[in-house]
Amino acid sequence: MTKRWWHDKVAYQIYPKSFYDSNGDGIGDLGGVLSKLDYLKDLGIDIIWLSPIYQSPFVDQGYDISDYYKIAECFGTMEEFDTLLAEAKKRNMYIIMDLVVNHCSSEHKWFKEALKNPKGEYRDYFYFVKGKNGQPPSNYRSYFGGSVWEPVKGEKDLYYLHMFSKEQPDLNWENPKVREQIYRMINWWLNKGLAGFRIDAIMNIKKDLEFKSFEPDGEDGLASCTKMVEAVSGIGDFLEEMKAVTFEPKDAFTVGEVFNMKKEELEDFIGEEGHFSTMFDFSAHLLTLGEHGWYDAKPIDFKEWRQTIISSQLEAEGIGFKANIIENHDEPRGVSTFLPDYAQNDDGKKMLATVSLLLRGIPFLFQGQEIGMTNCRHNDINEYDDINTIDQYHLALDAGLTKEQALKVCYTHSRDNGRTPMQWSATKHAGFSTGTPWLPVNPNYFSINVEKQENQPNSVLNYYKELIALRKFPAYKELFVYGSFVPAFTEYDYIFAYFRTLKHTDAKILVAANFGQESETLELVELQPEKVLLMNTGFEKEIFEEADKDGCITLHSCEAVVIVVTDY
């Protein structure tokens, strides 16, 4: 595998609105990010992904961009952004931004022009399509509920396409002028010194222009628009063109938000010559999707979860790297989702971190993950902001759930779980802002916050620091980055374990964790324990002595260990 500059990096996603507010207006901003760079450096972060900071009406929290060349006023100025780039560079850190080009905002001048002038060139920047038999062109359901087709006011039987909200019209990638505009914009940012992009909702850019309807899959008589995304082919041409004229010449790092990819296309996407440097591994998160929505999702089953990660890891072996996450701004908190009730504690959080961060691939942390932030409960739907949550809440009510049940569904699945303000300290509003935060802070900030954990040697935060440092430790770095992933002890019901091994060396590292409630004893058959590198409960010495004595290790509930072993 050809080595690339980003292979050994650890990334961190910032959701700027909720990260740190530097001027007391209740909204996190660039000044806030700037003042926390040293915090991130100290944590061991190399690459920072900023969720959208462009000018936007914020219908979908900035994923609806009205000017790709401007910073939203609430986040600060272009000068501050340039300072951020420079300050990151000084610290050997890289900034990447969100690239949201499947759609723009309905407030973007392109769309406003398109509406105003049916004969003008901007009509062709979007999908304006005639209806069929007095109906919209197809029966696709948008990601946020309802039809993807919005009638154009004042024009009979004409619709425009929006895969997300109606305020996010889809850009017409078939139009070479649109692509040119997009590439120009990408290069403008790269020329500033940006290291790359996280590429939003990218699978949606390719449309089947026949817009054939599918068998309805819900009470609303509509069919999920992902059916079209899955059926259509040819997206690779767009992605290759974009790469050739933007990312490649700049050696930029790209991470795709890829859903609904055809399995056999993995190499095209993240192989050495792939469309992207890497793409997120969402396989575990897909397990939390219900057939019709959040309301009919089932809780995580440990064995299924373990098998999903194992399969996903093995599939990438010899092809490329996936970007490993436990959460992001679209997901509930990882600890609330993937840990059973009895593991909802610091040991459990550290255990989840251990098995996740040492997987083969590029780790991406999401803000607050490093202190073990959890989901946030609300007693009224009005306390939520997210457009997706509000849709899913009503979907749940329509399906017959009570108000209490529907709120519980939001508690376990809402995208706002990841968007509550970062918990910096035990002072008012978690030290996030001196004003009123745009979204209420999770009341558990008294016990879960950065300041407290910085002062506690055995905190989740300090454990994350150790874990990241271990991944980068010179003696093991090569193995953690380029070593293979080999699943282990899968015959146990509650053990998640794997080896990382590097060809042509004797080096082998065992990562093992007990997600069960009872202790488990694992036999290190034909393996000599050399050293315990890390353990979440502080019993390194004991476990080494045990392994050295009888070749067994006993892991208590929620215990995780990282051990160097050699073959006999």
Q: Which residues carry out catalysis?
A: 200, 257
Binding ligand TEU by CB under 6 A: which of 29, 46, 200, 347? 200
Q: Does 434 bind Ca ion (CB under 5 A)?
A: no
Binding Ca ion by CB under 5 A: which of 11, 14, 27, 410? 27
Closest-by-Cβ residue to ligand TEU is 63
Separation CA 385–CA 175 (nearest Å)? 35
Q: Where are the alpha helices (DSSP H) in 383-454?
A: 387-398, 403-413, 450-454
Nearest to ligand TEU of 393, 515 (CB atom): 393
Output Rg (C-alpha) for the chain, integer angstroms. Answer: 24
Separation CA 226–CA 224 (nearest Å)? 5
Separation CA 148–CA 146 (nearest Å)? 7
Q: Which does 489 bind (CB under 5 to 8 A by kind): Ca ion, ligand TEU, none?
A: none
Q: Does 364 bind ligand TEU (CB under 6 A)?
A: no
The least CB distance from residue 204 to ligand TEU, in Å, is 8
Cβ(297)–Cβ(247) below 8 Å:
no
The H or E element containing residue 278 is strand 278-280
Looking only at residues 20 through 79 of this chain, which bind ligand TEU when binding is defined by CB under 6 A?
60, 63
Looking only at residues 108 through 167 of this chain, which bind ligand TEU when binding is defined by CB under 6 A?
143, 164
Looking only at residues 218 through 277 of this chain, which bind Ca ion when binding is defined by CB under 5 A?
none
Q: Which does 27 bind (CB under 5 to 8 A by kind): ligand TEU, Ca ion, none?
A: Ca ion
Binding ligand TEU by CB under 6 A: which of 201, 376, 532, 562? 201
Q: Which does 29 bind (CB under 5 to 8 A by kind): Ca ion, ligand TEU, none?
A: Ca ion
Q: Determine the size of the site formed for ligand TEU (CB under 6 A).
A: 13
Looking only at residues 29 through 48 of this chain, which bind Ca ion when binding is defined by CB under 5 A?
29
Separation CA 29–CA 63 (nearest Å)? 16
Nearest to ligand TEU of 84, 99 (CB atom): 99
Number of neighbouring beta carbons within 10 Å of residue 549: 9
Separation CA 516–CA 508 (nearest Å)? 25
Q: Does 564 bind Ca ion (CB under 5 A)?
A: no
The H or E element containing residue 239 is helix 235-242
Cβ(509)–Cβ(565) below 8 Å:
yes
Q: Which does 150 bind (CB under 5 to 8 A by kind): ligand TEU, Ca ion, none?
A: none
Q: Does 466 bind ligand TEU (CB under 6 A)?
A: no
The 3-state DSSP class for residue 530 equals strand
Name residue 350's amino acid. Answer: K
Separation CA 248–CA 275 (nearest Å)? 10
Block residue for tokens 């036999």: 523
Interacting residues toward Ca ion by CB under 5 A = 21, 23, 25, 27, 29
Interacting residues toward ligand TEU by CB under 6 A = 60, 63, 100, 143, 164, 200-201, 257, 259, 329-330, 388, 415
